[in-house]
Amino acid sequence: MVAPQALPYAVDIETAVSILRSANRILVIGCSGGGKSTLAQKIVVCLDLPYLSMDREFFWLPGWVKRDRAEERSLIAGKVSEDRWLIDGTGPSSFDLRLPRTELVLWVRMPRWLCMWGALSRALRWLGRSRPDMAPGCPERIDWEFLRYIWDWERKFAPKVLAGLIEHGPDVPVLQLKSRGEMRQLLDLLNRPA
pLDDT digits (tens, 9 = 90+) for 108-140: 999 999 999 999 999 888 988 889 888 899 999
- CA–CA separation, 22 vs 181, rounded Å? 23
pLDDT, residue 90, reads 95
Does the residue 155 lie in any domain? yes
Does the residue 20 lie in any domain? yes
pLDDT, residue 81, reads 98
- pTM exceeding 0.75: yes
pLDDT, residue 141, reads 87
Q: 3-state class of 5 per DSSP? A: helix
Does the residue 37 lie in any domain? yes
Q: What is the pLDDT of residues 59-110, one digit of tens each?
A: 999 999 999 999 999 999 999 999 999 999 999 999 999 999 999 999 999 9
- Residue 2 above 70 pLDDT? no
Sign for the CA dihedral angle at 173, 25, 155, 132 comes to positive
Does the residue 86 lie in any domain? yes
The DSSP symbol for 129 reads S
- CA–CA separation, 26 vs 6, rounded Å? 21
Does the residue 194 lie in any domain? no
pLDDT, residue 142, reads 86
For residue 100, the tally of other CB atoms under 10 A from its CB is 13
- Residue 3 above 80 pLDDT? no
Contact 30, 90 (CB under 8 A): yes
Does the residue 183 lie in any domain? yes
Sheet of 51-53, strands arranged across: 51-53, 85-88, 25-30, 104-108, 174-177
Mean pLDDT, the chain, rounded, equals 93
Residue 76 C-beta-side C-alpha neighbours within 13 Å:
30
Q: What is the pLDDT of residues 23-48, one digit of tens each?
A: 999 999 999 999 999 999 999 999 99
Cα Rg of the chain (Å, integer): 16
Does the residue 65 lie in any domain? yes
The set of residues, in sequence order, having a beta carbon less than 8 Å from that of 152 and lying 6+ positions away, is none
Number of folded domains that form the chain: 1
- CA–CA separation, 8 vs 171, rounded Å? 7
Does the residue 52 lie in any domain? yes
Domain of 18, CATH number, reads 3.40.50.300
CA distances from 157 to 93, 98, 101, 190 (A): 11, 18, 22, 29
Whose CA is closest to 116, among 35, 23, 27, 21?
35
Tell me the residue range of the domain where 143 lies: 4-189
- CA–CA separation, 165 vs 184, rounded Å? 25
